[in-house]
């Protein structure tokens, strides 16, 4: 199968999977809030974020392994591939053991540290069963996931995860509608998720007969794992600081408010990142084999990824207040809809996607050690500003801390990748984003002139679709017209599409 076909399969399967995940993902928190109240929803959000921190036991192996595999897979060097995966497998087995011990400890201690009306034993069991599938993931499937990702078979992982998530979602909806208590719901979710590791392992073993984990481990190939670990810890702290601070300072009801906005943002961000994940293996392998070709590809990718991201979040910015108002209309214990929160959350996501292509360039280059100080500084800025500002402005304060750190790190990544790795001025990257920012402001004026605030779900859905049909073509057209290489790519794909349609119609005519 060609790389182009794999990237198309990755894109299609991820898009379908994400749309299904979004549909179920929006329904479940609402059912939890209505059935159990904002406190339980806040507890689940807080517990999930704490368990995310346990990913530090992965010790940075995943990111380094992925980067190390691109070259050997592009050259089909199975001796090198097996050596890398053998070393990775050893680390992941240690990781699963440490994760299980720590998960058990957190399950016991965490209920004693927070104010919650639920019995402590119930809270402990919820945390344990939420985290247990990750133990199985590290022990059984993690190394196979990395192999499939490096080989461009994200669609295999995505399709399996989609089926499992849909099954979990449907079962949880069924149980919640029957008003089953929260603990049985979480236990059943855990049991279904455990099957994923078994299925993925059997698939990989069947389709890669050359794979062997019994060869001598190639530890030098993943020697930068400690530096990657620092990045991983920094990212975990950076991405999950807000909920932990709010849990301790503002309470679980405010955490529930934060989690509703974060739910929308994370689902939309995942939708946007489908484009990157579908071609990630091509860009990674290209960087290792042909730097000149990589520069050409990353330029075009950055333009269109930025255009897609800004077009999606332009729509989200316009409809999010109405969405939250409708989503929490029957909730009385706390106010969710807030226009300032909309502005802050969307700003965070835009700053994050602006740096994504250049951050991937740094990862492809394996510059983990060289960028440790910058990563630590970003986390430090976020912690200091968030801790100071939360006492002044509450939930707004932690978001301001995140934005402050992102303003520093996004610019640092853009400058580092362009100057140190691509050996050029960062002017093009900044022009791409400046054009999109101006267009973002313009479409907000356009949306307000064309649409009225949505008072029903039908009106919200209609407005979202129409706004998207306006936003996406405008951003894509602007980026296409702005750069000669983008215009050339557009003409190339337009010509190929025309030839493909002509062949199809000729066959039908015969």
Predicted confidence band at 8 (pLDDT cuts at 50, 70, 90)?
A: low
Euclidean distance between the first and the last CA atom of the chain, given in angstroms as a whole number: 28
Q: In this predicted model, what pLDDT tens digit does every residue of 62-92 receive, in sequence order?
A: 777 877 888 888 788 888 889 988 988 888 8
- The dihedral sign for the CA sequence 34, 39, 44, 48: positive
b/e sequence 67-76, b meaning 16+ C-beta within 10 Å: bbbbbbbbee
Model confidence at 282: pLDDT above 70: yes
Q: What is the pLDDT of residue 310?
A: 95
Mean pLDDT confidence for 14-26? 66
Model confidence at 60: pLDDT above 90: no
Question: What is the distance between the alpha carbons of residues 16 and 221, in angstroms, rounded to a whole number?
Answer: 35
Of 279 and 499, the one with more pLDDT: 279
Q: Are 336 and 328 in contact (CB under 8 A)?
A: yes
Of 298 and 240, the one with more pLDDT: 298
Q: Are 385 and 405 in contact (CB under 8 A)?
A: yes
b/e sequence 317-345, b meaning 16+ C-beta within 10 Å: bbbbbbbbbbbbeebeebebbbeebbebb
Query: Rounded to 5 degrees, what angle do the CA atoms 367, 371, 373 make?
Result: 155
Q: In this predicted model, what pLDDT tens digit does every residue of 365-386 receive, in sequence order?
A: 888 788 888 888 988 898 899 8
Contacts of 338 by beta carbon, 8 Å cutoff, 6+ apart:
257, 321, 324
Contacts of 8 by beta carbon, 8 Å cutoff, 6+ apart:
278
Question: What is the distance between the alpha carbons of residues 510 and 506, in angstroms, rounded to a whole number?
Answer: 6
Q: Are 191 and 168 in contact (CB under 8 A)?
A: no
The least confident of 4-18, 162-176, 278-292, 364-378 is 4-18
Q: In this predicted model, what pLDDT tens digit does every residue of 486-509 receive, in sequence order?
A: 788 777 766 665 554 455 445 545
Of 331 and 194, the one with more pLDDT: 194
Q: What is the pLDDT of residue 500?
A: 47
The percent of residues in the chain predicted with pLDDT above 70, rounded, is 81
CA 77 to mean position of chain CA atoms: 30
Q: Are 426 and 419 in contact (CB under 8 A)?
A: yes
Of 46 and 392, the one with more pLDDT: 392
What is the token pair recorded at 506? 């000729």
């Amino acid at each position: 199968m060609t790389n182009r076909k794999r990237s198309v399969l990755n894109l299609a399967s991820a898009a379908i999977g994400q749309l299904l995940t979004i549909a179920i993902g929006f329904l479940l928190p609402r059912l939890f809030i209505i059935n159990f109240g904002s406190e339980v929803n806040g507890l689940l959000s807080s517990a999930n974020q704490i368990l995310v921190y346990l990913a530090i036991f992965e010790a940075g192996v995943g990111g380094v392994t992925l980067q190390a595999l691109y070259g050997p897979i592009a050259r089909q060097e199975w001796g090198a591939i097996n050596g890398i995966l053998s070393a990775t497998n050893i680390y992941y087995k240690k990781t699963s053991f440490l994760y299980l011990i720590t998960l058990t400890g957190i399950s016991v201690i965490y209920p004693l540290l927070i104010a919650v009306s639920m019995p402590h034993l119930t809270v402990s069991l919820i945390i344990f069963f939420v985290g247990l599938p990750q133990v199985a993931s590290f022990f059984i499937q993690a190394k196979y996931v990395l192999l499939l990702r490096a080989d461009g078979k994200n669609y295999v992982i995505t399709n399996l995860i989609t089926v499992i998530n849909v099954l979990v979602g449907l079962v949880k909806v069924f149980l919640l509608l029957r008003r089953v208590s929260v603990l049985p719901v979480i236990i059943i979710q855990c049991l279904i998720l455990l099957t994923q590791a078994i299925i993925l392992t059997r698939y990989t073993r069947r389709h890669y007969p050359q794979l062997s984990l019994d060869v001598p481990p190639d530890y030098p190939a993943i020697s930068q794992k400690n530096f990657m670990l620092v990045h991983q810890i920094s990212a975990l702290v950076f991405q999950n600081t807000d909920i932990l601070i709010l849990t301790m300072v503002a309470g679980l009801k405010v955490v529930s408010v934060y989690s509703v906005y974060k739910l929308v943002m994370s689902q939309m961000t995942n939708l946007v990142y489908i484009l990157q994940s579908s071609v990630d293996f091509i860009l990674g392998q290209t960087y290792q084999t042909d730097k000149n070709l990589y520069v050409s590809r990353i330029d075009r990718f950055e333009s269109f990824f930025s255009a897609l991201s800004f077009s999606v979040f332009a729509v989200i910015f316009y409809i999010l207040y109405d969405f939250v108002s409708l989503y929490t209309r029957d909730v009385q214990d706390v106010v969710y809809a807030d226009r300032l929160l909309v502005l802050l959350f969307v700003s965070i996501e835009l700053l994050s996607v602006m740096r994504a292509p250049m951050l991937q360039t740094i990862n492809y280059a394996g510059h983990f050690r060289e960028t440790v100080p910058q990563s630590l500084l970003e986390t430090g800025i976020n912690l200091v500003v968030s801790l100071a500002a939360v006492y002044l402005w509450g939930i707004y304060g932690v978001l301001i801390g995140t934005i402050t750190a992102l303003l520093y790190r996004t610019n640092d990544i853009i400058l580092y990748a362009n100057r140190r790795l691509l050996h050029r001025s960062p002017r093009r990257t900044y022009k791409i984003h400046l054009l999109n920012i101006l267009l973002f402001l313009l479409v907000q004026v356009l949306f307000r002139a064309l649409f009225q605030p949505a008072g029903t779900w039908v009106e919200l859905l209609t407005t979202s679709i129409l706004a998207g049909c306006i936003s996406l073509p405008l951003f894509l057209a602007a980026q296409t017209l702005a750069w000669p290489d983008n215009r050339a790519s557009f003409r190339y794909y337009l010509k190929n599409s025309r030839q493909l349609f002509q062949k199809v119609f000729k066959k039908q005519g015969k």
